[in-house]
C-alpha cells in the first residue's frame, strides 16, 4: 500500500494533525509520510511534546521512524503490528501528558493494554485528566470500550510530575448513540487545589454558588497531591452527554476571576444547546470514524475540521460526514 502523504500545513496545522495521523497510521498499518510539520508556526517542526507522541505511538506498534528529531519538518512512520503491552512514558512539564494519552488511546482501544504516563496532567494546553475520566471515558464506554483510568498524582503546570495510568481491555467499538439531544442533568462544581491556601478554593466555590446557583452539597473543595502548586475550577454537567469545563488558576489571577471563567464556559455550552461540547467533539472523531454512529455538537472549531480532514485522508472521504443543522452540526460515520 502506498504511504499516506500528510501536509502539516493543512487547516489549523499544529500538533493535532500529527497525533491523529500517528494513531491512524498505527491502526490502519499504513506508512505515514508527513511533511511541513507545523510549518508557519513560530517554532516550526517537531517540538518535544510531539516527539514524545511519536515515540509513544511507535512503542505501541513497533514502528520504524525517520525524522523523529527536534525541529524536524518531515517524518516517516512505518507502523508494525500493534500489540497488547504495558508501557510507561515520562514526559516533562511543558507538554501535556494528556496529549500523549490522546495519541495512544485509539491504538489501545483496538489491542488493549496498560499505559502509565508521568508528566503534566493539568495544563492549559489540553483537556485535563478529569475531562478524560469523567467525560471521554464514559462516552467510550457507551461505544463498548472497556477503559479505566486512575490518577495517582496531579501534575500542574509548570512543575508537572503527575502520574496516571490507563487500562484498556481490547474490544470492538459499536456505533455511538444517544448523543443527538441534550437533556440537562445535575450540575456540580469543585475547586481543585494543591499547595495553595484552601481559602482560594472557598472563594471560587462561592462564585459558582452565586452565579450558577449550584447548591452547597454539590460544591466541594478538592485537595490533591502534587509536586508543585496548582488550582483549577471545574463544573461538571451530568446531562444525557456529560460535560466538564475547567478554568485554571494562576499566580496573580484572582480566585473569583478563575471561577467566572468556568461560569462563562458553562454558559457558552448551554447557549449552543448541543450535547457534545467542543473538546469532546474533537476527541470523539476518531472513535466515531472507527465505530460508527453520530453526535450533535456546536459549529466545528477549525481544530476539529482539520482533524476531520486528517481522518478522511486515512479512512477515505466518506469516513466522516459533517452536516450543519440549525445552529449546530451533526457528525456521523
d(CA 214, CA 207): 10
Identify which range of 68-76, 142-150, 281-289, 290-298 contacts other proteins by CB under 8 A.
68-76
* Grid cell digits, residue 118: 508521568
Question: According to CB under 8 A, which one of 23, 26, 33, 180 is a site residue for other proteins?
Answer: 33
Q: Select from 183, 135, 147 the least CA-distant residue to 280.
A: 135
Measured from the CB atom, the residue of 90 and 146 that comes closer to other proteins is 90
The H-or-E segment that residue 266 falls in is: helix 255-272
Distance in Å, CB of 97 to other proteins, minimum: 11
Residues 267-326 that bind other proteins (CB under 8 A): none
Identify which range of 22-30, 42-50, 132-140, 315-323 contacts other proteins by CB under 8 A.
42-50
Q: Give every CB contact of residue 111 below 8 A, 6+ residues apart in sequence.
A: 60, 82, 83, 84, 170
Distance in Å, CB of 11 to other proteins, minimum: 17
| Size of residue set near other proteins by CB under 8 A | 42
Distance in Å, CB of 267 to other proteins, minimum: 25
Half-sphere exposure of 82 (CA within 13 A, CB side): 25
Respond yes or no on whether the N-terminal peptide bond of residue 158 is cis (omega within 30° of 0). Answer: yes
Distance in Å, CB of 154 to other proteins, minimum: 13
Does residue 36 touch other proteins according to CB under 8 A?
A: yes
Per DSSP, the residues of 29-82 read TPPEEEESTTTTSSS-S--HHHHHHHHHHHHHHT-EEE--STT-S-EEEE----
Identify which range of 91-99, 182-190, 271-279, 292-300 contacts other proteins by CB under 8 A.
91-99
Does residue 95 touch other proteins according to CB under 8 A?
A: yes
Distance in Å, CB of 132 to other proteins, minimum: 21
Phi, psi of 36 (to 5 degrees): 50, 40
d(CA 288, CA 144): 12
* CA 3 centroid distance within chain: 27
Catalytic residue among 36, 87, 222, 303: 303
Does residue 5 touch other proteins according to CB under 8 A?
A: yes
Contact 79/30 with Cβ under 8 angstroms? Answer: yes
- Clarify whether 50 is annotated catalytic: no
Catalytic residue positions, numbered: 303
User: What residues make contact with other proteins under the rule CB under 8 A?
Assistant: 2-3, 5, 7, 33, 35-36, 43, 45, 47-49, 51, 66-67, 69-74, 76, 90-95, 118-119, 124, 157-161, 195-196, 227-229, 251
Amino acid at each position: 500500500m502506498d504511504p499516506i502523504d500528510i501536509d502539516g500545513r493543512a487547516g489549523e496545522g499544529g500538533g493535532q494533525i500529527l497525533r491523529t495521523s500517528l494513531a491512524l497510521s498505527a491502526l490502519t498499518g499504513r506508512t505515514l509520510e508527513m511533511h511541513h510539520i507545523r510549518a508557519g508556526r513560530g517554532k516550526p517542526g517537531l517540538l518535544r511534546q510531539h516527539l514524545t507522541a511519536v515515540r509513544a505511538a511507535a512503542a505501541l506498534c513497533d514502528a520504524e521512524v525517520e525524522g523523529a528529531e527536534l525541529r524536524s519538518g518531515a517524518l516517516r512512520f512505518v507502523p508494525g503490528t500493534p500489540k497488547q503491552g504495558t508501557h510507561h512514558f515520562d514526559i516533562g512539564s511543558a507538554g501535556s501528558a494528556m496529549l500523549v494519552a490522546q495519541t495512544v488511546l485509539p491504538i489501545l482501544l483496538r489491542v488493549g493494554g496498560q499505559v502509565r504516563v508521568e508528566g503534566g496532567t493539568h495544563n492549559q494546553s489540553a483537556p485535563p485528566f478529569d475531562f478524560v475520566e469523567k467525560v471521554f471515558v464514559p462516552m467510550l464506554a457507551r461505544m463498548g470500550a472497556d477503559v479505566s483510568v486512575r490518577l495517582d498524582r496531579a501534575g500542574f503546570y509548570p512543575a508537572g510530575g503527575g502520574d496516571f495510568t490507563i487500562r484498556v481491555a481490547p474490544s470492538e467499538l459499536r456505533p455511538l448513540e444517544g448523543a443527538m439531544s441534550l437533556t440537562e442533568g445535575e450540575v456540580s462544581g469543585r475547586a481543585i487545589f494543591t499547595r495553595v491556601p484552601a481559602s482560594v478554593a472557598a472563594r471560587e466555590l462561592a462564585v459558582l454558588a452565586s452565579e450558577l446557583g449550584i447548591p452547597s452539597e454539590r460544591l466541594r473543595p478538592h485537595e490533591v497531591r502534587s509536586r508543585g502548586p496548582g488550582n483549577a475550577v471545574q463544573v461538571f454537567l451530568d446531562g444525557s452527554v456529560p460535560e466538564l469545563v475547567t478554568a485554571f488558576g494562576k499566580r496573580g489571577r484572582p480566585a473569583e476571576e478563575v471561577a467566572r471563567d468556568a461560569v462563562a464556559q458553562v454558559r457558552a455550552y448551554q447557549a449552543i444547546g448541543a450535547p457534545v461540547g467542543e473538546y469532546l467533539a474533537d476527541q470523539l472523531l476518531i472513535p466515531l470514524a472507527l465505530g460508527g454512529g453520530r453526535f450533535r455538537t456546536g459549529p466545528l472549531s477549525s481544530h476539529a475540521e482539520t482533524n476531520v480532514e486528517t481522518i478522511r485522508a486515512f479512512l477515505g472521504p466518506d469516513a466522516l460526514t459533517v452536516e450543519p443543522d440549525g445552529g449546530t452540526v451533526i457528525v456521523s460515520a
